């Protein structure tokens, strides 16, 4: 029973890592750089959800969904703004410059939110926006929040897969990721596609933020740092650029962390997770589901 | 003749006035404060800072110390390792402070202490409970009880008042405070004939404790000792209840922050923690402090760290007064000689090891609020 409980814990944690990892992977797939501000967009999603949640009746389905959608919308917009202001002017600069800019954007958001007049540094409670039920069955405790986290994450991953493989804009995203110049030649506007990619990735991060806050019930400006780092690892582990890879990586990292966390080695859970990452990358440099990208000549 | 008299009168009046002005313009006494105004333990840092600030403002309104105003220079260490040491060096060498107040957390006080000691500048930590802090040297003082006192107090409380024989311990390994408290708790609980069924660990900043709690639940213990900080404790309590754990949770003064109840809420019902003071204390000193603090800071009720921050500034000011000078060695001597100082956190005397010897208060969370349970005298 302890094993089943840990499995459930692992799924709900891994689902959130997967959602954040998808944002990393999509931006990387299209622009070939890691957007480190992504984990702060995640935090802003949680903040938006908590601000709205405080004005809605607690424990209703429509209230919870409203929080989730609002956070996704605000984060999508924010993602587009960040890309327009910080990354687009650097599109032709070396990748390293954009990477460093994204770290700058990340720190800017973190310290802005720690200001007392914006949010403040102390954690605040996250309102119980969704109906909360606790089922007890033979010593196994299942909270409705955990199921909501897993369910919403599953729906979003499927939706994303459909957008990328079944729509015109998804096709354009894949085209840009394969060959930006050729995509432009056949009439794809890279600005629109990149903005859309950021909107999509950031909306997922926003949803992840709300789900994470729902699961752990507190919000603070630095809450994105560790989940962001783990999700980044998950994206690399699964094969950066691959959507199923990011989902698998997220679940794996969540699982490793949970099972080691419950053992006598709990202190080393992060160290072991990262060590495993190094091992996998040694033997499969492109990650578990990543494809080898042939060097263009 | 009259005009001559008038001239003298005006002249002497001017002379008097200028001497008064000069006295008021005398250099303020600079006191350095190192605290976490931002970062993940900012709730403590801000509480301590508000208490200290209130004390300094009240002292200045009452004409300061030795006829001079006090100037508090506050450095924010952002709750980051390394920043406190930098701040201490800056305050001592550039700002030339007379003494240092801070830090709340033992880990960060241990960064400041060696620098204060080697520069021979007295340091008063309001709330670092790890014994190693004052052991750094003769210039380091603290105003709270220490872990070897608090740990056994809670072990004895768990055994006698809660009737527990088998408990779990959930320690934050990245905090010197939590590790210290766990150690002294375990020693005493074992010597009382109790059993530690399982010990689980986490790190500061963790949000997910379900895996550790699931392992604890499997042992079926009646109580879980959690010597951590409120930010994690509140989440641990909520997740424990979600997992169906009904064991009583109890801990130390790290729980003491208004945010504990805001985040933890109903999950904390029936839990206990030890701390330094209770705002419900009816003594005039405490009630006066609570009233002034609320008036100054948005109607907030001061927590124990705010009270210790307040007392640390007052004890330092009192030492400067008794020393009759701001010379660091004289202030150090006067601090060491502090006896029966009536602060809001109780009657404070500094012992031979430069620790404050004072009683602990155990608080119980009942009916959604924090109530005084009992006072434990060392």
Q: Which residue of A has its CA nearest to B208?
A: A216
Backbone CA torsion sign across B206, B209, B215, B217: positive
A265, A237, A257: which is closest to A249 by C-alpha?
A: A237
**B262/A259 CB distance under 8 A:** no
Residue B172 β-bridge partners = B202
Q: Does B212 touch chain A (CB under 8 A)?
A: yes
The C-alpha atoms of residue B24 and residue B16 are separated, in whole angstroms, by: 12
Contact residues on chain A for B49, CB-CB shorter than 8 A: none
Percent of chain A with pLDDT over 90: 52
Continuous segment of H or E residues that includes residue B201: strand B195-202
Q: Residue B330 has what pLDDT?
A: 95
Asked if B220 reaches chain A (Cβ–Cβ under 8 Å), the answer is no
At residue A264 the predicted structure's pLDDT band, cuts being 50, 70 and 90, is: confident
* Per-residue confidence (pLDDT) for residue B15, from 0 to 100: 56
Select from B211, B218, B235 the Cβ nearest to the Cβ of A258: B211
Closest Cα in chain A, distance from residue B333 (Å): 37
| Per-residue confidence (pLDDT) for residue B7, from 0 to 100 | 65
Task: Give the model's pLDDT for residue B10.
Answer: 60
Other CB atoms within 10 A of residue A265 CB:
13
* pLDDT digits (tens), chain B, 378 positions: 556 656 666 656 555 555 555 555 578 999 999 999 887 788 889 999 999 999 999 999 999 999 999 999 999 998 888 999 999 999 999 999 999 998 999 899 999 999 999 999 999 999 998 889 999 999 999 999 888 889 999 999 999 999 999 999 999 988 888 999 999 999 999 998 999 999 999 988 888 899 999 999 999 999 999 999 988 999 999 999 988 899 999 999 889 888 889 888 899 999 999 999 888 888 888 999 999 999 999 898 898 999 999 999 999 999 999 999 999 999 999 999 999 998 899 888 999 999 998 888 899 999 888 888 988 765
A6 in B contact zone (CB under 8 Å): yes
Structure tokens at A287: 């990650």
Q: What pLDDT, on a 0 to 100 scale, did the predictor assign at position A117? A: 84
Distance of alpha carbon A57 from alpha carbon A55, whole angstroms? 7
Spatial contact of B273 and B153, defined as CB atoms under 8 Å apart: no
Q: What is the pLDDT of residue A295?
A: 53
pLDDT beyond 70 at A294: no
A218 class by beta-carbon count within 10 Å (0-12 exposed, 13-18 middle, 19+ buried): buried
Nearest to B39 among A121, A124, A263 (CB): A121
Any residues with CB less than 8 A from the CB of B156 and at least 6 apart, and which? B188, B192, B376
B146: its two tokens: 């220490």
Pairing of strands B195-202, B369-376: unpaired
* Distances from the Cα of B376 to the Cα of A40, A286, B180, B358, angstroms: 45, 61, 20, 9
- Cα-Cα-Cα-Cα torsion B151, B154, B155, B161, nearest 10 degrees, comes to 170
Contact A257 B210 (CB under 8 A): no
Residue A270 structure tokens: 């992060």
A139: pLDDT strictly greater than 80: no
pLDDT of residue B13: 56
Lowest-confidence region among A61-70, A77-86, A240-249: A240-249
Distances (CA, A) of A269 to A179, A241, A288: 39, 26, 21
Of residues A194 and B205, more confidence is placed in A194
Q: Which pLDDT value is given to residue B4?
A: 61
């Amino acid at each position: 029973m302890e094993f089943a409980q840990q499995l459930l814990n692992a799924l709900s944690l891994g689902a959130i890592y997967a959602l954040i990892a998808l944002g990393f992977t999509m931006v990387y797939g299209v622009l070939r750089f890691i957007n480190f501000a992504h984990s702060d967009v995640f935090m802003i999603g949680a903040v938006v959800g908590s601000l709205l949640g405080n004005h809605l009746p607690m424990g209703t389905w429509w209230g919870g969904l409203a929080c989730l959608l609002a956070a996704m919308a605000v984060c999508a917009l924010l993602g587009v703004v960040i890309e327009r202001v910080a990354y687009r002017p650097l599109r032709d600069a070396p990748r390293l410059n954009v990477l460093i800019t994204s770290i700058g954007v990340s720190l800017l958001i973190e310290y802005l939110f720690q200001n007392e007049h914006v949010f403040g540094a102390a954690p605040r409670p996250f309102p119980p926006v969704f109906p909360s039920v606790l089922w007890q069955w033979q010593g196994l405790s299942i909270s409705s929040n955990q199921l909501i986290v897993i369910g919403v994450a599953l729906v979003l991953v499927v939706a994303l897969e459909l957008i990328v493989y079944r729509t015109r804009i998804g096709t354009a995203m894949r085209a840009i990721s394969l060959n930006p110049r050729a995509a432009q030649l056949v009439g794809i506007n890279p600005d629109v596609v990149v903005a859309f990619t950021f909107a999509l990735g950031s909306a997922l991060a926003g949803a992840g933020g709300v789900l994470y806050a729902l699961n752990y019930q507190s919000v603070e400006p630095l809450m994105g740092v560790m989940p962001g780092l783990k999700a980044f690892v998950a994206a690399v582990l699964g094969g950066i650029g691959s959507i199923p890879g990011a989902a698998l990586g997220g679940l794996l990292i969540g699982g490793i962390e949970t099972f080691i966390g419950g053992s006598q080695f709990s202190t080393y859970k992060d160290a072991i997770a990262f060590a495993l990452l190094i091992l996998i990358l040694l033997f499969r440099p492109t990650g578990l589901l990543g494809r080898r990208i042939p060097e263009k000549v | 003749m009259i005009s001559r008299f008038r001239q003298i009168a005006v002249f002497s009046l001017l002379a008097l006035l200028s001497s008064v002005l000069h006295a008021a313009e005398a250099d303020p006494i600079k006191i350095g404060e190192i605290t976490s105004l931002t970062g993940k333990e900012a709730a403590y840092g801000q509480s301590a800072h508000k208490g200290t600030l209130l004390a300094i403002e009240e002292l200045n309104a009452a004409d300061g110390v030795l006829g001079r105003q006090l100037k508090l220079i506050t450095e924010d260490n952002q709750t980051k390792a390394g920043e406190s040491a930098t701040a201490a060096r800056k305050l001592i060498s550039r700002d030339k402070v007379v003494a240092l107040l801070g830090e709340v957390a033992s880990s960060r006080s241990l960064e400041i202490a060696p620098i204060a000691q080697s520069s021979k500048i007295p340091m008063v930590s309001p709330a670092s409970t790890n014994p190693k802090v004052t052991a750094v040297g003769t210039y380091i003082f603290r105003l709270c009880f220490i872990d070897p006192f608090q740990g056994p107090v809670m072990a004895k409380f768990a055994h006698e008042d809660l009737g527990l024989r088998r408990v779990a311990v959930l320690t934050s390994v990245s905090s010197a405070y939590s590790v210290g408290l766990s150690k002294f708790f375990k020693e005493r609980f074992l010597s009382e004939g109790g059993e530690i069924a399982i010990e689980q660990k986490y790190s500061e900043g963790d949000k997910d404790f379900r895996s550790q709690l699931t392992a604890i639940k499997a042992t079926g213990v009646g109580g879980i000792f959690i010597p951590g900080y409120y930010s994690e404790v509140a989440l641990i309590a909520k997740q424990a209840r979600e997992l169906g754990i009904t064991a009583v949770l109890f801990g130390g003064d790290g729980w003491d922050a208004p945010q504990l109840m805001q985040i933890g809420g109903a999950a904390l019902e029936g839990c206990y923690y030890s701390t330094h003071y209770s705002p419900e204390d009816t003594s005039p000193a405490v009630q006066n402090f609570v009233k002034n603090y609320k008036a100054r800071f948005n109607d907030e009720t001061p927590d124990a760290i705010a009270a210790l921050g307040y007392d640390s500034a007052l004890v330092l000011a009192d030492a400067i007064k008794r020393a009759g000078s701001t010379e660091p060695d004289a202030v150090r001597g006067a601090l060491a000689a502090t006896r029966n100082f009536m602060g809001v956190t109780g009657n404070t005397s500094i012992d031979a090891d430069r620790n404050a010897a004072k009683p602990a208060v155990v608080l119980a969370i009942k009916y959604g609020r924090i109530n005084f349970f009992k006072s434990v005298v060392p």
